[in-house]
Structure 1
Amino acid sequence: MTFRAVLFAFTADLIPLYALYALLFAAHGLNAAQISSLLAIWSATSFVLEIPSGAWADTVDRRHLLILSGSLLTAGFTAWTLFPSYLGFAAGFVLWGAAGALRSGTFEALLYDDLHARTATAHYPKLLGYTRAAAESAALLGILAAAPLYARGGYALVAWSSVGMAALHVLAAVALPSAPKSVSTADIEDLEEDPDTTVDNFATPESTEPSAPQPASPGYLAMLRSGLREAFRVKIIRRGVILVALLNGMTAFDEYFALLADHAGAGPSLAAILVAVTVAGSLAGSLLAGRTEGMRATTMALALAVAGLLFTTGALVAGSAAHHTAQLYVLTAVGFTAVGIAYGIDYNTDVIASARLQDAITGPARATVTSVSGFATELMALTVFAFAALASTWLPIPTMIALLGLPLLLAAALVPTWLPRDRDE
């Protein structure tokens, strides 16, 4: 399972367009506000479909949904390539958003259930870290490949290469297993509904032994109600859902890294390399999740506070390169390195918080609960995009991006009390 899961995550992000699509849009005449509106369309699509797709994943074979997700992703990049206009880009983002909604929650639930079936859920943080690292490694390789691809064939070659990689992702989805659900249908009504419930709802390894196979799955509405009830009524789950959404949703700021590099005076090839520096940070943060999974909440909060300061300072330093042409490479390298470290800290914390949330879920609608967190993530991302669209009309790009690092400080304040406890505490 580990190899197939890592391969699936790897092929999902081996997309050269990730490095340059903001510049692709700009090259076709779109301004920062229009680009932000496209990103908002993308996020809004995921926002609307997130929870319904999660409940769907709790009632049908999750592997089939992941195959559909990959197919929609391929169609989205094809639309960008064949119809490079605002409407074409918007259509591509709708398809990409639908693909993301189908994968979000579904993939994590499939991973956890496969481990649960083998009584190995203790390995989930490490496996989740591996899949996140695979995704970031692929993104890094795709971003680095964007530079020579652009030099050889311009945006067209970058785009068609991305379409091919997305098609490969569909084949990786076909290879995934069809894991059994980790709880029985009889457990639907057993979920604790007390809104003040905290530690008692934490699922320890002993309380999550595999249930006997059930002859039929509960209906869509039953799963939807069960997942929503657990996500909103159980305090430890509710707080975990919000914290994971904050940690993950704020990473929407990475959509503006290429614009920051462009503002500093870097061309498309150098911009791709600078964006790769930030991806290297998220990669490191994901790989270290297996080692930091037992980190105390107070330590995690301190790390996030440092990340907030590094991100804000790094964005301003990188932006100042535009006024110091002779020091362009030094300032952008220092600034993007600081941003990359902050990005890595956030990613590491997100993996740990996501793993602890999965451990805390006790109801039968695992994908639905996870999708509620995805829904909140998209809400956070929409907030980021709306702020960027508005702020970019008054503030320079570096200042706008620097302000996007402030939610890291909010997350640092919430972690000590909102992070689901570790199974060994």
Structure 2
Amino acid sequence: MSRVADLAAARRRYATVCVLYWLPLGLTIAPLILLLTERGLSLPAVAGCLAAHSLTAALLELPTGGLSDVVGRRVVLAAAGVSNLAALVLVALGTSAWQLALGMALIGAGRALSSGPAEAWYVDTVHARSGPDAELRTGLARGASATSAALAAGTLLGGVLPWLLGAGPDLGARLSAATSGTVLPLSWPLLLGASVEVAFVLYVLAALHEPPRPATTLRGVLRGVPATVAGGLRLGGRDALVRRVLLGAAGAGSALAVVELLTPGRTAALTGAAESGAVLFAALACAGFACSALGSHLAPLTARLAGGGQRAVVLGLGVGAGGLFLMAATAASAGTAAAVLGAAGFGLVYLGRGAAGPSENELLHRRVDGAGRATALSVQSLALQLSAALTGSLASLLPPGPLPWLLGGTAMLAGALVWVDRGAVRPHTTSMRSLSGNGGFRRL
């Protein structure tokens, strides 16, 4: 097989992995909160389940990234699929608070396990075929587009499927009888997602070939992971470009936290009822993911037109911040025009984030090698998650109106401004030296 064919196959496999991983999670977006409340959980208990997810993901983010760098991408990705499979079944069928909280924690564990290995596998493969100076942005953009498309399709299907089952009393009765009443209409999107997780695990094990790694023992793994994690933290503290990547991720996390926290209430107020507001939110979220997919698809063109990856990041995050400011300007207004402008702002947030992401990550991959790549991505993900948790908490304390939206827009704009007037970054240099204990990270 030629080198061009090898690279095309790697792009297809990476995009397929992105679809198979994110489609099940997309299926949960619309029904999850309603399912938890249908199981009898109060609003504080629902918040506790969500906190179990976030805290588990944050606690495991760096150790699992280090684990991927030590034992390999494929086995960690497969473990993420198994964790999500168990979680989706448990949440779909669980009836007690501890079962549902455990299921959400397992989803958090799967998120931590998955944040980095697939992308690291793709970059490792490209570098093995074409060297460290190979072009990465196109493949990363396709993966990001595939992720957004999977989330969009999953969100739409996950919102429609329970409604279809609930609207068909004969079908609903047959399904309830077959499952002894343990499966609600809201459970079926999660069970469908669990079946996709099986396909994900099988595909990862069959399709993601990687070079054999040196034989290691459990003691070696336990010793290697902390060294790799420490190297990732040192890299974030010492390398100026990596700091910009982390600050950009933090700004995006703040923006997304505000959008995800406040938009459902805004759609419910617009329609006049929580149920119809949830349907509208599902449609709007689907459109947002479609905008993110479009932005990611256009990322290579954006970088060419902007004159480089760093300028593309500034442009993308700036567009996203503009979307939040537009939502802030219409937050206190009513009527069709305000609703249309608010929806346009929502789309701009996701379009800008989608356009900036591939260029950010390509710049990040120029700074790390294969031994620490997944850990670097985990540090980036951790920055996004922690900033989202902090900004979401602050936004919930602000009075209704434009202020919470301005908080998210200002954070995203700040994430864009750290890239301004910083000079061009060389894609590769031979003067990089190791930062981690196992030689996994490089810096100028």
TM class, shorter-length: 0.7 to 0.9
1: CA distance, partners of 2:373 / 2:394: 32
**Among 337, 350, 375, the residue aligned to 1:343:** 350
Measured after TM superposition, the shift of residue 46 of structure 1 is: 1.3
- C-alpha RMSD of matched pairs (Å): 3.2
> Given the two structures, how large is their TM-score scaled by the length of structure 1?
0.79
| 1:314 aligned residue | 327
2: CA distance, partners of 1:418 / 1:12: 36
* 1:422 to 1:133, Cα distance in 2 relative to 1, 3 A: farther
2: CA distance, partners of 1:397 / 1:169: 42
* 1:43 to 1:225, Cα distance in 2 relative to 1, 3 A: same
| 2:243 aligned residue | 238
| 1:382 aligned residue | 389
**Among 380, 405, 408, the residue aligned to 1:404:** 408
Code of the residue aligned with 1:345 in structure 2: it is G
* CA distances 1:298-347 after superposition (whole Å, capped 9, x unpaired): 564355334323223236637745xx5xx4xx654442232112221022
| 2:374 aligned residue | 367
**Among 414, 417, 441, the residue aligned to 1:413:** 417
Q: Secondary structure at the match of 1:123?
A: coil
| 1:227 aligned residue | 232
Code of the residue aligned with 1:118 in structure 2: it is R
Note if contact 2:244-2:418 (Cα within 8 Å) is conserved in structure 1: no
Code of the residue aligned with 2:266 in structure 1: it is L
2: CA distance, partners of 1:418 / 1:372: 22
| 1:172 aligned residue | 203
* 1:237 to 1:311, Cα distance in 2 relative to 1, 3 A: closer
* 1:293 to 1:24, Cα distance in 2 relative to 1, 3 A: farther
Measured after TM superposition, the shift of residue 10 of structure 1 is: 0.5
**Among 112, 128, 138, the residue aligned to 2:123:** 112
Measured after TM superposition, the shift of residue 167 of structure 1 is: 2.9
* 1:249 to 1:309, Cα distance in 2 relative to 1, 3 A: closer
Measured after TM superposition, the shift of residue 65 of structure 1 is: 0.6
**Among 340, 359, 362, the residue aligned to 1:355:** 362
* CA distances 1:86-119 after superposition (whole Å, capped 9, x unpaired): 5444222211111111111222221111111101
Code of the residue aligned with 2:129 in structure 1: it is R
Is the counterpart of residue 2 in structure 1 residue 33 in structure 2? no
Q: Which runs of 5+ in 1 are unaligned?
A: 182-212
Code of the residue aligned with 1:166 in structure 2: it is E
1: CA distance, partners of 2:316 / 2:71: 40
* 1:359 to 1:56, Cα distance in 2 relative to 1, 3 A: same
Measured after TM superposition, the shift of residue 17 of structure 1 is: 1.7
2: CA distance, partners of 1:232 / 1:395: 35
2: CA distance, partners of 1:37 / 1:9: 28
Q: Could you say which structure has the greater relative contact order, defined with CA pairs below 8 angstroms and 6 or more residues apart?
A: 1
Code of the residue aligned with 1:231 in structure 2: it is G
* CA distances 1:343-397 after superposition (whole Å, capped 9, x unpaired): 2102211221111111122583222222222222221122133224x42xx6348
Code of the residue aligned with 2:270 in structure 1: it is A
Measured after TM superposition, the shift of residue 417 of structure 1 is: 5.2
Q: Which runs of 5+ in 2 are unaligned?
A: 1-9, 166-184, 430-444
Q: Secondary structure at the match of 1:406?
A: helix
2: CA distance, partners of 1:311 / 1:61: 39
1: CA distance, partners of 2:316 / 2:23: 29
| 1:194 aligned residue | none
| 1:94 aligned residue | 105
Q: Secondary structure at the match of 1:118?
A: helix
Residue pairs, 1:119-138, within 5 angstroms = 119=130, 122-138=134-150
Measured after TM superposition, the shift of residue 52 of structure 1 is: 0.9
Measured after TM superposition, the shift of residue 56 of structure 1 is: 1.0
Measured after TM superposition, the shift of residue 399 of structure 1 is: 5.8
Note if contact 2:331-2:401 (Cα within 8 Å) is conserved in structure 1: no
1: CA distance, partners of 2:130 / 2:331: 48
> Given the two structures, how large is their TM-score scaled by the length of structure 2?
0.76
Note if contact 2:76-2:113 (Cα within 8 Å) is conserved in structure 1: yes
Q: Secondary structure at the match of 2:425?
A: coil
Measured after TM superposition, the shift of residue 140 of structure 1 is: 0.9
2: CA distance, partners of 1:376 / 1:147: 30
Is the counterpart of residue 44 in structure 1 residue 55 in structure 2? yes
Aligned length: 385
Note if contact 1:132-1:283 (Cα within 8 Å) is conserved in structure 2: yes
Note if contact 1:227-1:364 (Cα within 8 Å) is conserved in structure 2: no
Code of the residue aligned with 1:305 in structure 2: it is G
**Among 20, 23, 27, the residue aligned to 1:11:** 20
* CA distances 1:203-249 after superposition (whole Å, capped 9, x unpaired): xxxxxxxxxx8787995144344433333333333333333343356
2: CA distance, partners of 1:402 / 1:162: 36
Note if contact 2:248-2:415 (Cα within 8 Å) is conserved in structure 1: yes
* 1:157 to 1:409, Cα distance in 2 relative to 1, 3 A: same
Note if contact 1:81-1:156 (Cα within 8 Å) is conserved in structure 2: yes
* 1:215 to 1:143, Cα distance in 2 relative to 1, 3 A: closer
**Among 288, 291, 305, the residue aligned to 2:318:** 305
User: Higher mean Cα deviation, 75-84 or 237-246?
Assistant: 237-246
Measured after TM superposition, the shift of residue 402 of structure 1 is: 5.5
